[in-house]
């Protein structure tokens, strides 16, 4: 199973161009959803305004080398190793989910665009299955053991928080049905059922970017990089607390800042708490 190319079997009744068209459509949905999310939440406006205030109040000018160093630190710490998660089990769960997603999506694209009609696809089928397994491991660990503290909050694992949970549900169910589809290859109706569910969950995941927390992954590195810069140039302590989230005017202007910042953002004022809810 781990070495078999599931898309080779699929190509016998769905042509590669159709599969490739679906991948392209999903990419366009992610791009469009992310842009709409930025416009709706005014995230770009927030970053630009905060950058201007920081530049105005900076005590010194950062060199190009310092900015490059902060960019590398951001990639290594916040992106590659997720150091913003202080709880070790949350960090491990996130890393399994993140790398599993990357491996799964990348290998899917390679198999569909390069090996859709070939039974022998080298190491890519193994990576496809490995990515799906990693994604399931990290995702289910988060859903059942980290998303909520059942004993403390009394929230059951089956409670679904609408748009707040649509991202993680899609992220879990997509690789689950992908593995079941691959495992039941050749079993007729059952195999087709799992394939349809796999496609449906994939479409929900990538087609609901505007309503889910998918887009926040693009804002987290930017927020972390900006935080490093304003702490280094000395502007943070001088910035006025214009972004106190207890201020109704600020809440109206930036309604979802805590939802997409990911890390403790700079210049958020006394109304911002660094303690995020347990389901983040």
Per the domain annotation, does 273 fall within a domain? no
Average pLDDT over residues 33-38: 82
Lowest mean pLDDT among 65-79, 113-127, 144-158, 172-186: 144-158
Per the domain annotation, does 21 fall within a domain? yes
Which range of 28-37, 94-103, 152-161, 214-223 scores highest in mean pLDDT? It is 94-103
Q: Do 243 and 269 touch, CB atoms closer than 8 A? A: yes
Per the domain annotation, does 191 fall within a domain? yes
Residue 44 or residue 242, greater confidence: 44
Please check the confidence at residue 40 and state whether its pLDDT lies above 70: yes
CA distance 251 to 194: 43
pLDDT of residue 71: 86
CA distance 46 to 37: 13
Q: Where are the alpha helices (DSSP H) in the chain?
A: 6-10, 16-41, 43-57, 64-73, 88-114, 124-141, 150-153, 163-183, 189-207, 216-232, 248-253, 257-261
pLDDT-derived band of residue 267, with 50, 70 and 90 as boundaries?
very low
Share of the chain above pLDDT 70, in %: 74
Domain count, the chain: 1
Per the domain annotation, does 275 fall within a domain? no
- Quick count: other Cβ atoms within 10 Å of Cβ 105? 19
Q: Is 199 exposed, middle or buried (0-12, 13-18, 19+ CB in 10 A)?
A: middle
Please check the confidence at residue 47 and state whether its pLDDT lies above 90: no
pLDDT of residue 157: 66
Lowest mean pLDDT among 166-175, 202-211, 235-244, 256-265: 256-265
pLDDT-derived band of residue 153, with 50, 70 and 90 as boundaries?
low
CA distance 241 to 110: 48
Please check the confidence at residue 231 and state whether its pLDDT lies above 70: yes
Model pLDDT for residues 162-216, shown as the tens digit of each residue: 666 888 899 999 999 999 999 998 888 999 999 999 999 999 999 988 877 666 6
Per the domain annotation, does 62 fall within a domain? yes
Per the domain annotation, does 204 fall within a domain? yes
Q: Do 179 and 133 touch, CB atoms closer than 8 A? A: yes
Model pLDDT for residues 50-83, shown as the tens digit of each residue: 777 777 777 777 888 888 888 888 888 878 888 7
Per the domain annotation, does 239 fall within a domain? no
Per the domain annotation, does 97 fall within a domain? yes
Please check the confidence at residue 220 and state whether its pLDDT lies above 70: yes
Domain boundaries, position 168:
6-216
CA distance 139 to 94: 8
How does the average pLDDT of the chain come out, rounded? 79
Q: Do 135 and 115 touch, CB atoms closer than 8 A? A: no
């Amino acid at each position: 199973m781990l070495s078999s190319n599931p898309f080779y079997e699929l190509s016998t009744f769905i042509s590669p161009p159709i599969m490739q068209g679906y991948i392209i459509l999903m990419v366009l949905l992610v791009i469009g959803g992310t842009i709409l999310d930025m416009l709706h939440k005014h995230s770009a406006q927030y970053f630009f305004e905060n950058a201007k205030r920081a530049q105005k109040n900076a005590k010194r000018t950062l060199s190009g080398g310092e900015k490059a160093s902060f960019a590398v630190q951001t990639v290594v710490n916040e992106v590659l190793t997720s150091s913003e998660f202080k709880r070790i089990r949350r960090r491990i769960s996130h890393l399994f989910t993140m790398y599993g997603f990357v491996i799964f999506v990348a290998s899917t694209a390679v198999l569909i665009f390069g090996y859709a009609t070939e039974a022998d696809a080298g190491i890519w089928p193994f990576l496809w299955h490995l990515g799906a397994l990693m994604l399931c491991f990290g995702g289910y660990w988060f859903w059942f053991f980290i998303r909520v503290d059942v004993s403390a909050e009394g929230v059951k694992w089956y409670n679904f928080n609408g748009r707040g949970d649509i991202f993680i549900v899609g992220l879990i169910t997509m690789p689950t049905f992908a593995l079941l589809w691959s495992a039941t290859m050749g079993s007729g109706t059952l195999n087709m059922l799992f394939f349809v569910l796999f496609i449906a969950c994939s479409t929900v995941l990538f087609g609901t970017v505007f309503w889910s927390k998918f887009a926040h992954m693009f804002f987290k590195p930017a927020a972390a990089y900006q935080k490093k810069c304003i702490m280094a140039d000395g502007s943070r302590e001088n910035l006025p607390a214009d972004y106190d989230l207890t201020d109704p005017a600020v809440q109206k202007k930036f309604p979802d800042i805590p939802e997409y910042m990911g890390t403790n953002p700079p210049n958020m004022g006394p109304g911002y708490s660094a303690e995020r809810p347990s389901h983040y």
